[in-house]
């Protein structure tokens, strides 16, 4: 199920509250003391999800603030700052943390900043400016087809109220200054751990030079520029309640094109007691993972039937096995 990015929370009803990260897990450690946010002043709740087969992270951000500060055109704005490291390579990725200090500042900016981990400085809300500021040359990662965002709120600057921000982003193992042509998306798969954290920067005075709080999930404020301080988030598999009782799925690979040898892999789910393959050439097999040799070049339609105590299922792929 892919959420619609429209600022509405209905798509997220299936995501239980046990997956929410609330204000009670955020702290501010800007000095020697650890500070906790006051929910009467600021209260936030975050859910992060993913969709199998897509390299996207979906985020629902809900926040109450007693003073929303967003009237200025610069970076003085209430902020939700999200940092992601898709392959958990770790290490610094923002200029002030660069490991080689004698490198020219702008050279380091182009070759280093935001390349192996990405920081999204998200305006809450964004009025008269783009929804996020990216810490690096990779400004394209915050736009379609790599990201999308939508807000819902009914307050003015200086008011209190509740904001809903819904967005998705694409994490990158490599996002260089040359643009998306050489970028490498982070591949998201079940049970993979990614590096992720966020902070909420709360302004309460349009005239102030700095924010009143940097409420941080990782417990290390430096997470905004050093991915070693991000937390491991596991990409959870689909919960059992959404699974079919029995579901036929399969894949194939051509082992030898010259001899037309194809390996078939059963990827079905459920309690399965029998498999029947129709290879599209008049031959069949009852093996779970058969290897089949075709006699002539053609486009073959292959069907897998499965059966178990809870029922039957089949999956056909029409003219997908192509042999020359």
Confidence check: pLDDT of 32 > 70: no
Let me know if 101 is exposed, middle or buried by CB neighbors in 10 A (0-12, 13-18, 19+).
exposed
Looking at residue 34, what is its pLDDT? 72
- pLDDT tens digits for 65-88? 999 999 999 999 999 999 999 999
For residue 314, the cross-strand partners are 305
Q: How many CB atoms lie within 10 A of CB 206?
A: 13
Rounded to whole angstroms, the Cα distance separating 143 from 315 reads: 37
* pLDDT, tens digit, 9 for 90 and up, residues 248-272: 999 999 999 999 999 999 999 999 9
Looking at the predicted structure, is the pLDDT value of residue 317 above 80? yes
Is domain 243-323 annotated with CATH 1.10.357.10?
no
Instruction: Report pLDDT digits (tens) over 259-313.
Output: 999 999 999 999 999 999 999 999 999 999 999 999 999 999 999 999 999 999 9
pLDDT confidence of residue 26: 93
The pLDDT of residue 284: 98
Ranges of each domain in the chain:
10-234, 243-323
Tokens standing for residue 321: 């096995």
CATH class of 10-234: mainly beta
Question: Could you tell me what percent of the chain has a pLDDT over 70?
Answer: 99
Tokens of residue 226, six digits: 């050093």
Structure tokens that stand for 155 in this block: 């307050």
Mean pLDDT, residues 101-107 taken together: 82
Asked if domains 10-234 and 243-323 share a fold, the reply is: yes
Q: What's the gap between Cα 118 and its chain centre?
A: 12
> pLDDT digit string (tens) for 172-228?
999 999 999 999 999 999 999 999 999 999 999 888 888 888 999 998 999 999 999
């Amino acid at each position: 199920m892919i959420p619609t990015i429209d600022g509405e929370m209905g798509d997220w009803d299936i995501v239980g509250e046990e997956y929410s990260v609330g204000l009670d897990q955020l702290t501010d450690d800007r000095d020697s003391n650890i500070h906790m946010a006051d929910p009467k002043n600021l209260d936030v709740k975050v859910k992060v999800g993913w969709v199998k087969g897509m390299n996207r992270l979906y985020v629902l951000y809900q926040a109450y603030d007693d003073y929303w500060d967003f009237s200025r055109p610069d970076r003085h704005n209430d902020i939700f700052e999200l940092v992601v490291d898709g392959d958990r390579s770790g290490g610094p990725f923002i200029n002030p943390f660069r490991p080689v200090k004698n490198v020219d500042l702008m050279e380091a900016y182009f070759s280093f900043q935001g390349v192996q981990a990405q920081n999204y400085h998200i305006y809450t809300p964004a009025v008269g400016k783009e929804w996020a500021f990216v810490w690096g040359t990779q400004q394209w990662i915050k736009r379609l087809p790599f990201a999308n965002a939508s807000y819902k709120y009914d307050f003015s600057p200086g008011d209190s109220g509740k904001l809903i921000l819904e967005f998705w982003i694409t994490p990158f193992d490599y996002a260089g200054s040359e643009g998306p042509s050489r970028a490498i998306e982070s591949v998201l798969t079940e049970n993979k751990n990614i590096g992720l954290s966020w902070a909420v920067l709360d302004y309460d005075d349009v005239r102030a030079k700095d924010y009143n709080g940097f409420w941080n999930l990782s417990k290390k404020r430096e997470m905004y520029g050093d991915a070693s301080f991000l937390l491991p988030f596991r990409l959870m598999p689909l919960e059992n309640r959404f699974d079919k009782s029995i579901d036929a799925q399969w894949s194939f690979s051509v082992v030898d094109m010259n001899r037309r040898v194809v390996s078939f892999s059963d990827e079905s789910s459920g309690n399965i007691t029998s498999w029947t393959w129709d290879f599209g050439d008049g031959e069949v097999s009852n093996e779970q993972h058969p290897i089949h040799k075709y006699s002539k070049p053609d486009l073959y339609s292959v069907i897998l039937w499965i059966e178990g105590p809870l029922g039957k299922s089949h999956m056909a792929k029409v003219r997908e096995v192509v042999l020359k």
